[in-house]
Amino acid sequence: MRTLFFLLFSASCFAQTSPKIHLNQEGFYINAPKIAILTNIDNTGLFYVMGNNGDTVFRGQISAPEKSKNSSLICRTLNFSELNQPGNYRVFVPGTGSSYPFTISDHAYLKTATATLKGYYFLRASMPIEAQYGGQWSRPAGHPDDKIEIHPSAATDKRPAGTIVSSPGGWYDAGDYNKYIVNSGITMGTLLSAYEDFPAHFDKLKTQIPESGNQLPDIIDELLYNLRWMLTMQDPNDGGVYHKCTNAEFDGMVMPGVTKLPRYMVQKSTAATLDFVAVTAQAARVLRKFDKILPGLSDSCRNAAINAWQWAIRNPGLLYHQAELNKKFEPKINTGAYGDGNLKDEWFWAASELFVTTRDKTYELWIIDKLEGTVRLVSWNSVGLAGAYSMIRNEKNLPPNFINNLATIKTRVKEFADSLLSRQQATAFRTVMGGSAKDFEWGSNGVAANQGIALMNAYFITKEKKYLEAALSNADYILGRNATGYCFITGAGSRSPMHPHHRPSVADGIADPVPGLVAGGPNPGRQDGCKYEFTEPETSYTDDDCSYASNEIAINWNAPVVYLLNGLEFLLSQK
């Protein structure tokens, strides 16, 4: 026994860290499931969990092999869920080596959950990032956006082409420096929902931003920075909302504000306007309790939402078709399109948020009319579930005669979550993510996080723990239990993206990328034409800044990660 112990001790101390042990590189909650996956190692013996001092604290059996459905990897499960002593550990597999370090703790996600919210501060467009808050990533203000030209596609009598308007602030969309209402919409909806679902958590959460210490929670301060920009995207003359505030062509890979290319307000669209309705209606509701600190803002949001809704009713079919637009207008616009051909879910979301906020029956009819087929995973072009979540969350404030409709909506959400849950045991990484090879698309980490949110909503409906544990499996996925072995959040874990497609991270001359940002994730579409070492669905990821299809950061996939990690921290820490 003594010799065995000694052998293990020395083996683990000097053992190489092995990337073949894939696990959450941050940590696990005390009473939560704990799993690592061993890939392409022929070993069905024992594995060990060792503390920092080399003591073995747990010993378990390596499972039988299983081929992953989403790649050629052969996977074995190492389950150490029973270990529930707080501490710092590594998994050790004799002959293979040690895993990255991890903790078991009551606040396993807190640090990273906070960092993902802080990530938005670094994306703020028109103000400097100061060293006091941004550390080594401080930088001058980016695009001031106080002189935006009305593009010919957006011209009206009152605002002819070339009219100058002001649209400062807001977050940059992603690795690029443009600001798009559609993508801002679902991002804001997700973050507002995080606050609505977990106010007690966010009321205390400090992210060290310039506004920290004022009377508002930091998440609200961060949201306001983008909300105030969004409000400038509405034409006060008719209530319609411009699709985007953008360059004609993407800026080069330089720091923000270096290029001085003209910026344009491009075509109003029904999708942008409906997403704007949903966000401002939800903001009106969420900000109501801060009326004393933000006098009039909640009312302004409500009015903005109603005006935009009326514009959409008058203009129900104005889709954004960049190629068509470029046949008619100069300059041609070649930045992100966010064009969506099906707006049923946008109507549903907008009507849901207005209904919850105003209780006006007009919107109820739209909800019922648009329900069929809108329960699909949330993404920038699929926003129906966001409306369903808001109605479920605000059940108590809905008119009593809505109860049957709400029951239907709950059933749909639960069924959707059940279909996700049922796939978990069939994935070799034991995550809900990867239940279908189609999960691996542009921004697949957003898919993983949004699946987590759907599962958490099923938990809210049923209070059944299995949904929370399934949501956790996707947090584990994002934090490292995936085929690539990356913890996909910059600055988190042991092996995280170093070269995201993010202009400041490329151009700032600092080795570490801007922290708290989520990389897109595996995407076998590989639309960027970069070199990928692996190309199977769950492995087609490359940590190269040329790879905008697998390694770009974006506000719409950071937001569900903010929701997932903060929500799980709130629900699973024993407080």
Residues that bind ligand 9MR (CB under 6 A): 173-176, 250, 336-337, 442-443, 548, 552, 554
C-beta of 486 vs 570, nearer to ligand 9MR: 486
Minimum distance from CB of 337 to ligand 9MR (Å)?
6
Please, what is the minimum distance in Å from the beta carbon of residue 90 to ligand 9MR? 35
543 in active site: yes
CB of 434 vs ligand 9MR, minimal distance in Å: 19
Q: Is 176 a catalytic residue?
A: yes
Q: Residue 403 and residue 394: Cα distance in Å, rounded?
A: 12
Beta carbons within 10 angstroms of residue 559's beta carbon: 30
Closer residue to ligand 9MR, CB minimum distance, 110 or 123: 123
**Three-class secondary structure of residue 264 per DSSP:** strand
Between 253 and 294, CB nearer to ligand 9MR: 253
The Cα-based distances of 444 to 433, 482, 487 in angstroms read 9, 12, 14
Q: Which amino acid is at 224?
A: L
Looking at the Cβ atoms of 433 and 554, the one nearer to ligand 9MR is 554
- Any catalytic annotation for residue 536? no
Please state the length of the chain: 575
- Other beta carbons less than 10 A from residue 253's beta carbon: 16
Q: Least CB distance from residue 219 to ligand 9MR, whole Å?
A: 23
CB nearer ligand 9MR, residue 261 or residue 337: 337
For 23-175, list the strands marked E by DSSP: 27-28, 35-39, 46-51, 56-61, 66-67, 74-79, 87-93, 97-98, 102-104, 148-150, 164-165
Burial letters for 513-537: b for 16+ Cβ neighbours within 10 Å, e otherwise?
Answer: bbbbbbbbbbbbebebebebebebb
Of these residues, 176, 218, 340, 346, which one is catalytic? 176
Residue 424 sits at the vertex; the CA angle it makes with 418 and 429, to the nearest 5 degrees, is 160
Q: Whole-number minimum distance, CB 562 to ligand 9MR, in Å?
A: 17
Tokens (6 digits) for 78: 């190492």
- Which CB sits closer to ligand 9MR, 301 or 554? 554
Q: How far is the CB of 542 from ligand 9MR (least distance, A)?
A: 14
Nearer to ligand 9MR, 177 or 348 (CB): 177
Which listed residue (439, 469, 552, 569) is catalytic?
A: 552
Contact 250, 332 (CB under 8 A): no
From the number of C-beta atoms within 10 Å of its C-beta (0-12, 13-18, 19+), residue 397 rates as exposed
Dihedral pair phi/psi, residue 90, rounded to 5°: -140, 150
Q: Kindly give, in sequence order, each residue whose CB lies less than 8 Å from that of residue 74, ignoring residues fewer than 6 positions away.
A: 39, 40, 65, 66, 67, 68
234: left (phi over 0), alpha (psi -120 to 50) or beta: beta
Instruction: Find the catalytic residue in 501, 528, 544, 569.
Output: 501
- Based on CB atoms, which residue is closest to ligand 9MR, 176 or 218? 176
**Residue 251 among the catalytic residues:** no
Residue nearest to ligand 9MR (CB): 336
How near is the Cβ of 205 to ligand 9MR at its closest, in Å? 26
Taking the complex as a whole, the smallest distance from the CB of residue 554 to ligand 9MR amounts, in Å, to 4
d(CA 300, CA 183): 22
Q: What angle do CA 338, 344, 350 make, to 5 degrees?
A: 85
Closest to ligand 9MR by CB, 154 or 517: 517
CB of residue 549 vs ligand 9MR: minimum separation in angstroms?
A: 7
Q: Is 234 exposed, middle or buried (0-12, 13-18, 19+ CB in 10 A)?
A: buried
Name the nearest CA neighbour of 343 among 420, 278, 389. Answer: 278
Listed residue (247, 255, 192) closest to 224, CA to CA = 192
Which of 218, 543, 545, 569 does the annotation list as catalytic?
543
Active site residues: 176, 501, 543, 552
